[in-house]
C-alpha cells in the first residue's frame, strides 16, 4: 500500500509485526470520512486522548504515535477488535452499491470528473476560502454517501486561505499558515513504475511537472495537483502556493494547471470519464484539453473534437454579477495561449474568440465563464433566482434570444447534513429516521420529524445552545489571551453569553454586498434589544474580510468594537477565524441565523441551510435559496422579494430587521407555557426541520445532478462519440453550413386568420442554401406570469411555387392570447444538438402582417 510520506519515514526500522496494525490505522486515518462519521472517535481517543482532544484529527494522532504506544496497542486485543470493527464498517460503506447502484444499476454513466479551485472538507485539509469550496467538499461527501462514480480534481496549496486574528482595535490581521503536504491526510500518487507520477504542463520556455496527491473521501478520490516539486524552477514551485493569492498571471497559470493538468491526470490514471463537471468557470480549460486528447486519439481536428466532447461537459455557474467572472487581459492570453493554440492546431484568434462576447473586439478580455458556456453542453445556476440572474448576465452570448430562453437551468445547492448536525440532533434524527437517512431519498423524513414532540425538540435546542456557549467562551478566552489582554478581561470570557438566552448567529464573508453591518444600523436600538432584562438576546458573530478589502475590514472592526463595549460585552461576541470548525459550532447552537445580503447578490448561500437539521430558524433576505424556501411557517423574511438600487433601501430593511426581532422573534421565543415550552417557536422548529432540512440537503442536490444532468448528459456524450463519432461530424457540418448561409434567409408574407378555435399563422420564408431540415420555424410569445414562454413549432406546409428553397409554414394557436403577442422566428435545429448552447442562430420575422377573415 502507498503510505503517506511521513508515515514512510517512520516505517524505516519498524519491527515487521507492527506493520499490519500501522497500515490499518493509516488506512482509516487517511479516509476523510472521519470528518463526518464519528464512529471512530473512540479509537483515536484511545490512541492518544490528549492529542485527540486538541486536534480531533486522526492523521495528527497517527503521526505523533510513538513506537512504544503502537507496540502497546498491538498487544491490546480490545483495541484491535475495535479497530477491526471500524475497518469492517468502513469497507462495508465503500463496497455496498449505495443509492446510485440500487436505483441506477442500469445507468450508462461511467464516471464524473468534478473540477474545483477549492475544496472545503474539514479543518484538516484547509484548501478552501468560503462557500464555493464548502459546497464542493459537501458535494464530494454526498457523492460518496450515494455511491455516485465521482472523481474530483483540485490544486494543493502550500498556503490555504489566510487565518484571521484581530488586533486590539478590532483590525483584521492575516496569518498564512503553511500546509506541509506530508502532514496532511494525503497519499502521493505514483506511476506504474513506482516513481512519483508527474503531469507535465508546457508553459512559455519550460515544462512544469506537477506532482499529484490523493485525498480519500469515503468512496471518492480527490486528486490534488501540486507544482511544488524540485524538478521545477523556484518561481514555478510557487504556482500552487496560494489559493486566490497573487495576481492575474498566477491565477491564469493555476487555471491552466487545474483544467489542462486536470484532464492530463485523468488520462494518466486511465480513468473512464464521460462527464466533466466544472464547479465555476475556473476550470474551463479542461474542455479544451479534453477535446485535444480526443483529437489526438481519433485523428480529427479540434472543432470536430469539441463537437464530440462538448455535450459531456457541465458548467455550474456561481456568480450573480458579471464582475464576478474571471477574466484575463489579452497580453496574458497571448503569452500562454499561443503555444496551446498551436497544439490544438487552431488559429490563436479562433481560440481567443471562445472567451469573448464579441470575437472581433481585440481589447475584450478573455472570460473564463464565456469559455465554459461555449464549451459545455449544459449550464446551471445554484438557485432558482440565480438562474434568472444568470440568464441576464449571460444574455450577451445569445444575441437576439429572449432572456427567459438563455439556456441556464438550476439545481439549488444543499449541504451535507451529517457534516453539520450536532451530536444531539444526530441522536434525535437517528431515533426517528434511522441511520441511513441521508443515503437515499428523503421522502419519509418529513413525516418522521413531524411526529417529534415539543419537549424533545425544545430540549434539543437547550443542549445545543449550552454547547455553543461553552465553545464560544473557550474560543474567546484563547483569542483574548493571544492578543495579550489583561487577566480580568480574559477571565470575563467565562461569563459571556447565557445558555438560556435567545441566541442569534451571524457569520459570513465580510463584504459590502452581504451587508454585515445591517444589524448595526442603529446601534442603540440593537443594544436595547440585547440588554432587555426580561427578554434578552445574544449574538455570536464571525467572518473574514478579503485581505484586499479595506471596506470589509472596517465592517469587521465595527462589529469587534461594538462587541467590546462593556454594556454588551456579555451579550455579543466576535469569534475570530471563521472556518468549517467554527461554522459547525455556530450552526449547531444558534436559535436564529441571520443573513442580510443585498438581493440578488447571493447566488444561493448555504450557511442558513446548515442550521436546519439542528432546529435553528432562518431570518434572511429573500435571496438565493431563501427566496424559494421561505414560508411564514418556517422562518422570517427580509425585503420585499424585489431588487432595490436606492441607497435608502438599507434603512427600510434595517427597520424591518429590528421590528421582526422586537415584535415577533423575541416575544415568540420567550412566550412559555406552564411547562416552560414556547409552543409556537417549537412549531416553527419542527416545520423547518421537517420540510426544509431534507430539501436543502446535498443528498437531494446530488441526486438532482445525477438524474437531471449526469444521466442524460452521459447518454448524449456517448451518442456523439459512438461509431467514429458520426453524429459529431454531422453536427459540425450542420453548424458550418448554417453559419455560412444564415444571412441568406429572409421572410416573405405573414398572414394571420381567425379560425374556429384560434389563430392560424402562415408565413413565407426563403432559405437560400439553408436546408429546411436544419432549421425550425416557431411562433414565439413572451411569458406572461409564468416563466415559460410559448413556443409552437410551425409545420412545413407547401413550397412556394417558382421559388428555390422557399416555403410556406403554418401554425395554429388558441385564442387565449392576442395574435400580436406572437412572432414567427427561424432557429437552428438538429435533434442531436443542444441549442442554443451549441448554435445560437436566430432570425426573427419583421414587417407587417396581413389579416384575413374576421378582423381580430
Ligand atoms: C457554509 C460556509 C460558508 C458559506 O456560507 P454563505 O451562506 O454562502 O455565506 C462560508 N464559510 C464557511 C466557513 C462556511 O462554513
- For residue 564, how far is the Cα from the chain centroid? 35
Atom index in ligand 1 nearest the CA of residue 415 equals: 1
For the stretch 57-67, pLDDT in tens is 999 999 999 98
Q: Which domains does the chain have, with CATH numbers?
A: 5-95 (no CATH), 98-410 (3.40.50.2000), 445-696 (3.40.50.2000), 745-851 (2.60.40)
Q: Are 256 and 208 spatial neighbours (Cβ–Cβ below 8 Å)?
A: no
* Alpha carbons 853 and 257: distance in angstroms, whole number: 66
CA pair distance 316, 311, nearest whole angstrom:
14
pLDDT at residue 2, as a whole number: 63
In the predicted model, is pLDDT for residue 308 greater than 90? Answer: yes
The tens digit of pLDDT for each residue in 601-644 reads 999 999 999 999 999 999 999 999 999 999 999 999 999 999 99
Ligand 1 pocket at CB < 6 A: 130-131, 134, 508, 578-580, 583, 605-607, 610
How many angstroms separate the alpha carbon of residue 785 from the centre of ligand 1? 34
Alpha carbon nearest to ligand 1 atom 13, residue: 579
Distance 810 CA to ligand 1 centre (A): 53
Residues in the chain: 856
pLDDT at 325: 94
Backbone φ and ψ for 249, nearest 5 degrees, come out as -65, -45
Whether the link from the prior residue into 23 is cis, omega within 30° of 0, is no
Q: How many CB atoms lie within 10 A of CB 495?
A: 10
Give the residue, by CA position, lying nearest to ligand 1 atom 3.
131
Contact 145, 100 (CB under 8 A): no
Edge-first strand order for the sheet with 746-755 is 795-799, 806-813, 758-766, 746-755, 850-852
- What residue ranges in 641-757 does DSSP mark as E strands? 746-755
The DSSP call for residue 439 is S
Q: Where are the beta strands (DSSP E) in 349-429?
A: 366-367, 378-381, 409-410
What is the whole-number distance in angstroms between the Cα of residue 508 and the centre of ligand 1? 6
**Ligand 1 centroid to residue 594 C-alpha, Å:** 13
Q: Is the pLDDT of residue 771 over 80?
A: yes
For 677-726, the pLDDT digits (tens) are: 999 999 999 999 999 999 999 999 999 999 999 999 999 999 999 999 99
Cell of 290: 479534453
pLDDT digits (tens, 9 = 90+) for 418-461: 999 999 999 999 999 999 999 988 889 999 999 999 999 999 99
348-403 pLDDT, tens digit per residue, is 999 999 999 987 888 999 999 999 999 999 999 999 999 999 999 999 999 999 99
pLDDT at 68 over 70: yes
Q: What's the pLDDT at 856? A: 43
User: Residue 372: what pLDDT?
Assistant: 98
The C-alpha cell that represents 379 in the structure block:
449550464
pLDDT digits (tens, 9 = 90+) for 205-236: 999 999 999 999 999 999 999 999 999 999 99
Question: Nine-digit cell at 413?
Answer: 445547492
Q: The C-alpha cell of 393 is what?
A: 448576465
Task: Quote the CA–CA distance of 689 and 35 in Å, as a whole number.
Answer: 23
- C-alpha cell recorded at residue 416: 451535507
Q: Cβ contacts of residue 499 below 8 Å, gap of 6+?
A: 462, 465, 466, 469
Model confidence pLDDT, tens digit, residues 806-823? 999 999 988 788 999 999
> What is the structure's pLDDT at 359?
79
The protein residue whose alpha carbon is closest to atom 9 in ligand 1 is 508
Q: Which of 119, 130, 697 to mutate to test the pocket of ligand 1 (most atoms within 8 A of CB)?
A: 130
By the 10 Å C-beta count (0-12 exposed, 13-18 middle, 19+ buried), 841 is classed as buried
Average pLDDT over residues 114-119: 98
- 150-196: pLDDT as tens digits: 999 999 999 888 999 999 999 999 998 888 888 899 999 999 898 99
- State the Cα–Cα distance between residues 246 and 256, nearest whole angstrom: 15
Band of the pLDDT at 734, cuts 50, 70, 90?
very high
Helix (H) or strand (E) holding 843: strand 842-844
Q: Which residue's alpha carbon is at the smallest distance from atom 11 of ligand 1? A: 130
Helix (H, G, I), strand (E, B) or coil at 85: helix
Give CA–CA dist 847/747, Å, rounded: 9
User: Contacts for 349-356 with beta carbons within 8 Å, 24 or more apart?
Assistant: 351/288, 355/328
Q: Using the mean position of ligand 1's atoms as its centre, give its distance from the Cα of residue 43 in Å.
A: 30
Give the pLDDT confidence of 2-39 residue by residue, as tens digits: 677 667 667 777 888 999 999 999 999 999 999 999 99
Whether 241 contacts 228, CB under 8 Å? yes
Helix and strand tally (H, E) in the chain?
34, 31
Q: What is the mean pLDDT of the chain?
A: 95
CA distance 91 to 87: 6
Looking at residue 179, its pLDDT comes to 85
pTM score above 0.95? yes
Do 389 and 600 meet the contact criterion of CB atoms below 8 Å apart?
A: yes
Give the alpha-carbon dihedral of 836, 837, 841, 843, to 10 degrees. 30
Q: End-to-end alpha-carbon separation of the chain, Å? A: 80
Phi–psi pair at 33, nearest 5 degrees: -60, -25
For helices 523-531 and 649-659, the axis angle rounded to 10 degrees is 10
Ligand 1 atom at minimum distance from 609 CA:
7
Neighbours of 42 (CB within 10 A): 12
* Mutation probe of ligand 1 site: the residue of 324, 508, 577 with most atoms within 8 A of C-beta: 508
119-137 average pLDDT score: 95
Mean pLDDT, residues 254-274: 97
Contact 308, 721 (CB under 8 A): yes
Amino acid at each position: 500500500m502507498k503510505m503517506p510520506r511521513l508515515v514512510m519515514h517512520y516505517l524505516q526500522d519498524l519491527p515487521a509485526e507492527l506493520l499490519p496494525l500501522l497500515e490499518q490505522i493509516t488506512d482509516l486515518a487517511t479516509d476523510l470520512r472521519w470528518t463526518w462519521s464519528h464512529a471512530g472517535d473512540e479509537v483515536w481517543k484511545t490512541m492518544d486522548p490528549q492529542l485527540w482532544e486538541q486536534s480531533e484529527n486522526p492523521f495528527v494522532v497517527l503521526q505523533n504515535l510513538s513506537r512504544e504506544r503502537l507496540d502497546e496497542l498491538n498487544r491490546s486485543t480490545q483495541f484491535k477488535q475495535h479497530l477491526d470493527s471500524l475497518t469492517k464498517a468502513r469497507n462495508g460503506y465503500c463496497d455496498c452499491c449505495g443509492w446510485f447502484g440500487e436505483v441506477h444499476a442500469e445507468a450508462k454513466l461511467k464516471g464524473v470528473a468534478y473540477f474545483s479551485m477549492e475544496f472545503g472538507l474539514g479543518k484538516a485539509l484547509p484548501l478552501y476560502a468560503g462557500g464555493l469550496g464548502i459546497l464542493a467538499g459537501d458535494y464530494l461527501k454526498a457523492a460518496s454517501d450515494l455511491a455516485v462514480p465521482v472523481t474530483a480534481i483540485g490544486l494543493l496549496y502550500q498556503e490555504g486561505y489566510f487565518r484571521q486574528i484581530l488586533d486590539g482595535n478590532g483590525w483584521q490581521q492575516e496569518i498564512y499558515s503553511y500546509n506541509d503536504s506530508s502532514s496532511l491526510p494525503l497519499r502521493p500518487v505514483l506511476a506504474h513504475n513506482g516513481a512519483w507520477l508527474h503531469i507535465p504542463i508546457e508553459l512559455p520556455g519550460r515544462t512544469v511537472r506537477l506532482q499529484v496527491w490523493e485525498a480519500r473521501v469515503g468512496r471518492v478520490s480527490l486528486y490534488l495537483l501540486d507544482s511544488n516539486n524540485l524538478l521545477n524552477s523556484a518561481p514555478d514551485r510557487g504556482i500552487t502556493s496560494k489559493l486566490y493569492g497573487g495576481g492575474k498571471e498566477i491565477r491564469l497559470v493555476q487555471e491552466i494547471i487545474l483544467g489542462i493538468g486536470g484532464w492530463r491526470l485523468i488520462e494518466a490514471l486511465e480513468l473512464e470519464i464521460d462527464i466533466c463537471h466544472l464547479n465555476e468557470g475556473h476550470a474551463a480549460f479542461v474542455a479544451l484539453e479534453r477535446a485535444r486528447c480526443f483529437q489526438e486519439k481519433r485523428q480529427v481536428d479540434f472543432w470536430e473534437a469539441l463537437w464530440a466532447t462538448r455535450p459531456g461537459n457541465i458548467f455550474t455557474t456561481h456568480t450573480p454579477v458579471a464582475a464576478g467572472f474571471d477574466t484575463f487581459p489579452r497580453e496574458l492570453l497571448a503569452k500562454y495561449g499561443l503555444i496551446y493554440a498551436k497544439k490544438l492546431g487552431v488559429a490563436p484568434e479562433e481560440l481567443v474568440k471562445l472567451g469573448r462576447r464579441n470575437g472581433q473586439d481585440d481589447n475584450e478580455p478573455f472570460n473564463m465563464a464565456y469559455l465554459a458556456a461555449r464549451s459545455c453542453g449544459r449550464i446551471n445556476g445554484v438557485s432558482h433566482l440565480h438562474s434568472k440572474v444568470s440568464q441576464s448576465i449571460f444574455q450577451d452570448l445569445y444575441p437576439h434570444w429572449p432572456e427567459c430562453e438563455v439556456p441556464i437551468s438550476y439545481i439549488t445547492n444543499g449541504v451535507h447534513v451529517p457534516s453539520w448536525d450536532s451530536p444531539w440532533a444526530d441522536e434525535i434524527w437517528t431515533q426517528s429516521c434511522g441511520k441511513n437517512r441521508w443515503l437515499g431519498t428523503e421522502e419519509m423524513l418529513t413525516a418522521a420529524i413531524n411526529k417529534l414532540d415539543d419537549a424533545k425538540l425544545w430540549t434539543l435546542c437547550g443542549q445545543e445552545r449550552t454547547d455553543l456557549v461553552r465553545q464560544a467562551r473557550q474560543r474567546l478566552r484563547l483569542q483574548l489571551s493571544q492578543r495579550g489582554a489583561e487577566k480580568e478581561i480574559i477571565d470575563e470570557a467565562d461569563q459571556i453569553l447565557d445558555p438560556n438566552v435567545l441566541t442569534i448567529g451571524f457569520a459570513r464573508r465580510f463584504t459590502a454586498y452581504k451587508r454585515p453591518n445591517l444589524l448595526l444600523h442603529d446601534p442603540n436600538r440593537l443594544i436595547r434589544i440585547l440588554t432587555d432584562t426580561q427578554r434578552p438576546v445574544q449574538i455570536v458573530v464571525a467572518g473574514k474580510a478579503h485581505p484586499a478589502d479595506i471596506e470589509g475590514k472596517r465592517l469587521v472592526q465595527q462589529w469587534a468594537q461594538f462587541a467590546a463595549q462593556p454594556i454588551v460585552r456579555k451579550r455579543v461576541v466576535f469569534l475570530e477565524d471563521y472556518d468549517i470548525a467554527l461554522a459547525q459550532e455556530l450552526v449547531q447552537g444558534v436559535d436564529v441565523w441571520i443573513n442580510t445580503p443585498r438581493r440578488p447578490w447571493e447566488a444561493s448561500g448555504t450557511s442558513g441551510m446548515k442550521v436546519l437539521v439542528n432546529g435553528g430558524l432562518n431570518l434572511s433576505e429573500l435571496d438565493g435559496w431563501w427566496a424559494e424556501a421561505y414560508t411564514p411557517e418556517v422562518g422570517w423574511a427580509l425585503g420585499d422579494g424585489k431588487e432595490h438600487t436606492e441607497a435608502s433601501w438599507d434603512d427600510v430593511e434595517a427597520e424591518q430587521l429590528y421590528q421582526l426581532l422586537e415584535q415577533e422573534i423575541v416575544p415568540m421565543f420567550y412566550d412559555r407555557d406552564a411547562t416552560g415550552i414556547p409552543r409556537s417557536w417549537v412549531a416553527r422548529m419542527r416545520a423547518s426541520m421537517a420540510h426544509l432540512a431534507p430539501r436543502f440537503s446535498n443528498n437531494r442536490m446530488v441526486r438532482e445532478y445525477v438524474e437531471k444532468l449526469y444521466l442524460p448528459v452521459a447518454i448524449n456524450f456517448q451518442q456523439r462519440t459512438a461509431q467514429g463519432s458520426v453524429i459529431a461530424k454531422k453536427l459540425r457540418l450542420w453548424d458550418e453550413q448554417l453559419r455560412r448561409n444564415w444571412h441568406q434567409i429572409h421572410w416573405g408574407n405573414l398572414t394571420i386568420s381567425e379560425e374556429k378555435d384560434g389563430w392560424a399563422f402562415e408565413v413565407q420564408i426563403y432559405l437560400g442554401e439553408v436546408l429546411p431540415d436544419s432549421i425550425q420555424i416557431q411562433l414565439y410569445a413572451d411569458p406572461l406570469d409564468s416563466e415559460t414562454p410559448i413556443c409552437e413549432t410551425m409545420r412545413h406546409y407547401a413550397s412556394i411555387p417558382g421559388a428555390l428553397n422557399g416555403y410556406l409554414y403554418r401554425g395554429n394557436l388558441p385564442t387565449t392570447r392576442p395574435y400580436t403577442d406572437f412572432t414567427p422566428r427561424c432557429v437552428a435545429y438538429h435533434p442531436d444538438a443542444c441549442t442554443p448552447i451549441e448554435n445560437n442562430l436566430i432570425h426573427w420575422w419583421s414587417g407587417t402582417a396581413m389579416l384575413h377573415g374576421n378582423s381580430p
